[in-house]
Every structure is written in C-alpha cells, then in structure tokens.
Structure 1
Amino acid sequence: MQSVAAALTMVRGDAFFLNAWLRHYGETFGRENCYIVNHGRGEDVENLAEGCNIIGIPGDPHPNFDMKRWRLLNNLVQGLRCYYTHVVVGDVDELVVVDPSHGGSLLDYLAEQKPRRVLTPLGLEVIHRIDVEPEEIIGPILGPRRHVRVAPHYSKPCIISQGVKIARGGHFTQYDKLVTPDELYLFHLKFCDFGTYVQTMNARNAVTQEVGTDVQDTAIGRHWFAEARGEDRAVFDAFADLPMEEGFDLGWVRKRMARSWGPRGETGFYAFKRPDYAQQYRLPDRFTGLI
C-alpha cells in the first residue's frame, strides 16, 4: 500500500470526465488512494468509482457553490496530508501528467520529489479540432485529440505537500515559491470533444438556472452560465484559426510565469500573470494514449 500520493476531486455526473480521471489516477495511484466527493450522491458516480473512497454530500443548488466546494476540498487536502506525502487536487476534467520523455509514472515522479512544497504543472487545454479530428473518443483521449493551446489559467498549484490554503477555483495558494517543473503538465479537457462539451454545458446551465441568480450574485464560475457560453460550434470552429507553433518547447511560458510571480494583493495568496495566448501546438507522438 503506497502513501506517496492521493488524488482528490469533486463531481456531479460528468461521466465522460470521471471515466478519464479514474483511468488516469486510479491506474497510477490505485483506486484505494483516490478520493471523490460525490455531490448529490449520484448512483452513476457510485458505480463508476467503485473501489475509490467516495464521500457523498447533498446536492442542493446554492449560489455560493464554488466557495463551499473549495472550503471542503481545502480541509480534505489538509486531512489527507496526514497520511500521504502529496495530494493532487483539482476539477474532474483536469489531469496532471509527467512528460513521457522523463520516464516513469506520475507516482514514480512524486516519490522522488521533496515534500513540504507546492508544485504547479504547466496548463495545456486539449482542443478538439473538428475540422481535422472526426474520430470519436471511445478510450484514451490523447491520440484522437492531438492539439493543445497554452492555458495559464490552468497552470494550477495543485500538487500539495505543504500546509497551505488553496484559493477558490484552485488557482492560487499561500505558498510563496513558484515550483513549475519542466516535465509536469496539467491537461484541461473541457474542449477535448465537441459532443461532450455540448452535453456538459447544457447540464451546467441547468444547474445555474435552478439556483435562480445571475453571475454577479454567485460564487459559481462564470462559464456555468448560459449568457457566457456563446455559440458552441463557433467556439470549436475558431480553434482552426489559432496559429500553429512548431515543436513543443514551452520553456518560454514557464519563464514568463516566474518573472511575474508575486503576492496577489493583500490576500496572502501568490500568483503569476495569466494572459491569453493564441498559439496552438500539436502534441508529440510520445503523449498518445497517456490519458
């Protein structure tokens, strides 16, 4: 039984992403080291996550959903740290990977890392190029999907081995050093499949409609609201217009993160600038089948 690393997420439905999360962390860490907060106690989550540690909570809609969620996740992370060296925490559509060129699994990698730190993988958004990727996803995602764009918003301090507070959304912590190893990435899967995106957004729009407030009056991510959604196919068609970069050298992004690192006002949190980058990259073959 390993005590190097645990994975923690919260989910309500989202079977497509939960399956990917379970394949990735369940196979890497072992399902007995995966912790899933089942928001609403859905039977679908119970069935899919068999063998994991499932924490059922009420699913009543609430305008401060995200605030409550991260308060719970914060406390669970600190509790799990009593038993594991590292805790990987994030949304169910966010997966941390080690570049295959480094060798070994994520568990192997974390076993070699010093404790009492916070690691920040470089965020990459997997995008479905519907103009050149007609294949459906029936197993691994990387392979049928090979295009990514740099996503600083998802360069999250999500591997925790220090007693720090995590901000709502998981974007910042109160750890004052930026540790962003060259071989670590966080793949965000929201846009990895057009059909799944439509279904997911329909479900999230229904949740915010049930809450009955607007985006200004809630602690729910803006992207859950219908008015911030836009036209789905236009969103995906636009991916083809992003400039394609040669190679896969992303050291320049990490350097910019380090240069802009500092306190986030008087909040006690630390952050780097998160500009929007227009570039897209084609993933090298070594990533195929990784998630």
Structure 2
Amino acid sequence: MRGAVFTMCFNENLFLPIWLAHYGRLFGPENCFVIDDGSTDGSSRDGRIRNLVTRQRAPLDEDDRAALVSHFHAELLQHYDYVLFTDTDELIVLDPACGTDLHEYLAATPFSHKTPAGFDVIHHHRVEPALQLEGSLFAQRGYLRYRTDYCKTLISARPIRWIAGFHGASLPPAPDDNLFLFHLRAVDHEASRRRIRVLNQIRFSDNSLRKVHGLHFRWDEATYLAHIYDAAEEDFERARICDLAAYRREHAADTGEILRIPERFADSIVLCTGMPGEPAATPPASIGRALLEGMFDTATGRMVREVPGRRRNDPCPCGSGEKLKHCHGALG
C-alpha cells in the first residue's frame, strides 16, 4: 500500500520545517504535499518540498478550507492507497513498541480509516530551555496533556469529509491504540508568543466570523498564552508516566492532567534533518507538476461549487481576486 501526507499552511516558518522532516523521513519527500495559502515569510520556498501548490491569500473561511482539503484528499486517493492530512503543528507517531515505522505499519494491512489519540506537547517553560531545531523533540520536552478534540480522524483510505477545524468527519472514529497525534501548539513559549502575532493578522470571512470559527486566532497575546500555558507548577510536579493508549480509553473527556511522555518515545520525533532550503537527496515528485495543479484546481472547483448561496459578484473563494462570475462561477 502506498501512502501520502499533505498539509495546508500560512507563514509556518517554525512548524513547516519540522513537518517536512518528520513526514519526509517516514514517507519520502516525494510523497509529501504542501498547499501554501499565500505565505509571505518565505517558508514555502523550502527546497525539500517536492509537491507544492499555492493559492492567493483570501479571507479565511474554515468551511471552505475543510471542503478544499477533503476534495484534495479524494484527488490524492486516485494515486495512493491511503492519505494523511495534518496541520503543520500535528505529528502522527506510531508507538515505538510496534518495532516498525508509521508508513510500514499503515501499509501492512488494509484499513478504512484511523483515529490517533491526541496529546498537546506542553513546554514547562520555567524549567525546560527554548526549543532547538535539532535532535529529538522528547529529549527537550517531557510533558503532555490529553486532548479529546485532537483525537482526529486524519488517516483514511477512502474519501472523507471534514468539518471546520477537522475535529469531526463523515466517517466515525476508528481508534488505533498504536497511533498518537502530538500537537505542538504549546511546544515553545516564545514561539507561541510569535505565533499569535501571525494569527492575529489573519482575516476571516463573514461566514467564519458569524460561526465563531478560529476564535483563538483573534485573542490578544496575554489571553492566548494564558490559555495554552495554564498549568501550575504543582501540575508538573504531580505529572506521571502512564500508558497513553489506556489513558485515551479511560477518559471520554479532557482531564487537564499533565502527563510525562513514556521513555520509549524518546527518539520518535526527530525535529529537522538539514536546514530549510537545502534539498534532500531524494527522488523527484511522484506526481508531475501539471497533474498536481490539475488535481488542485479540480478540488478547488468542487469546493467553490458545492456551497449554495454564493453570490456571483462576491470574490471567488479560490483566492484569485476575481469575482465569482468571472472565475470558478463561470464554469457553471
């Protein structure tokens, strides 16, 4: 079974290199795909990206983003047996006790879809130093927090429709005790401070504002940092090592408890292999440029046309800057 992984990003100069290193090592850079949503920080010019499609920046509509990703996932399934989608700050890891790697594990046995257990990686910033983009992540970070909303169905061998935020999908959850999603939003205190400044610059569509999508993007710095770094010193002192899969089975809701990462995960995430902009010695992209752009245009067109009630004089959601009637709306 052949697998691919893709992400959608905007100005991810910290997390995109980590994402490329992690999934490139597991699946090969030629099977990693990046949708760049109008980045201006140069992060998407990383020479290790073999499959890149770009779109002009437009007000962020979370419903449209979920639809676009869902349709692009379906396009990739025409060339791969299964496809993963994650945000750039989400790293899916196989339990090292399995004795193989993520790609080999998924390729070994046919499946419909899988739902990893979700955990935030928490920077104990009063004790742990700033993150260094080399070596093992868990040599630098030792604390986790279970998050039910990050137990997301992100691995699928069949078409799937995600809702805004990707915390729900058309397929029912399919937990796999060997799979874990480590969410890096709180992996470094200073990086989080810089990140909220970027998020504050994002303009949302009227639809997303009305539905209160991405509310944390619009928080001020103090509120954002207080929310994701709300653990007290005694929470870290009480932290214990436990079976992460069993913890997920035993808790249907978030507990807020700080946990220690089991020692066997120590080398499960290697942060970066080479600096951004240095192309790795890997095969070329598995899908040609023309085919890739055609797949993305097909996914974009389906995203635009599936939502009823769009007005012909509205800007086209594809980000072209044209009115809908002169862009994807002209296609019928």
Tell me by how many angstroms 1:164 deviates. 2.5
Change (3 A) 1:49 1:88: farther
Q: Within 5 Å, give how 1:1-291 maps onto structure 2.
A: 4-40=2-38, 42=40, 44-48=42-46, 50-62=48-60, 65-115=61-111, 117-139=112-134, 140-176=136-172, 178-208=173-203, 211=204, 216-217=209-210, 220-226=213-219, 230=223, 232=225, 235-236=228-229, 238-242=231-235, 244-256=238-250, 275-291=253-269
Distance in 2 of aligned mates of 1:119 and 1:152: 15
Tell me by how many angstroms 1:138 deviates. 2.6
TM-score by length of 2: 0.73
Tell me by how many angstroms 1:24 deviates. 0.5
TM-score by length of 1: 0.83
Distance in 2 of aligned mates of 1:250 and 1:199: 30
Change (3 A) 1:193 1:229: same
Q: Which residue identity lines up with residue 149 of structure 1 in the other structure?
A: R
Tell me by how many angstroms 1:231 deviates. 5.8
List gaps (5 residues or longer) in structure 1: 258-272
Distance in 1 of aligned mates of 2:195 and 2:47: 19
SS of alignment partner, residue 242 of structure 1: helix
1:262 match: none
Change (3 A) 1:88 1:234: closer
Distance in 2 of aligned mates of 1:234 and 1:135: 19
Distance in 1 of aligned mates of 2:127 and 2:199: 28
Tell me by how many angstroms 1:232 deviates. 2.4
SS of alignment partner, residue 129 of structure 2: coil
List gaps (5 residues or longer) in structure 2: 270-332
Percentage identity across paired residues of the two chains: 27
Q: Which residue identity lines up with residue 48 of structure 1 in the other structure?
A: D
Distance in 1 of aligned mates of 2:64 and 2:22: 26
Q: Do 1:124 and 1:150's aligned partners in 2 also have CA atoms closer than 8 Å? A: yes
Change (3 A) 1:30 1:60: same
Change (3 A) 1:92 1:24: same
Change (3 A) 1:253 1:84: same
Q: How many residues align?
A: 267
SS of alignment partner, residue 96 of structure 2: coil
C-alpha RMSD of matched pairs (Å): 2.5
Distance in 2 of aligned mates of 1:68 and 1:28: 29
Q: Do 1:164 and 1:175's aligned partners in 2 also have CA atoms closer than 8 Å? A: yes
Q: Which residue identity lines up with residue 168 of structure 1 in the other structure?
A: A
Change (3 A) 1:150 1:61: same
Bigger RCO of structures 1 and 2 (CA < 8 A, at least 6 apart): 2
Change (3 A) 1:110 1:212: closer
Please give the per-residue CA displacement for 1:89-145, whole angstroms capped at 9, x wherever unaligned. Answer: 021101100011111111111111323x11000001000001221243232422111
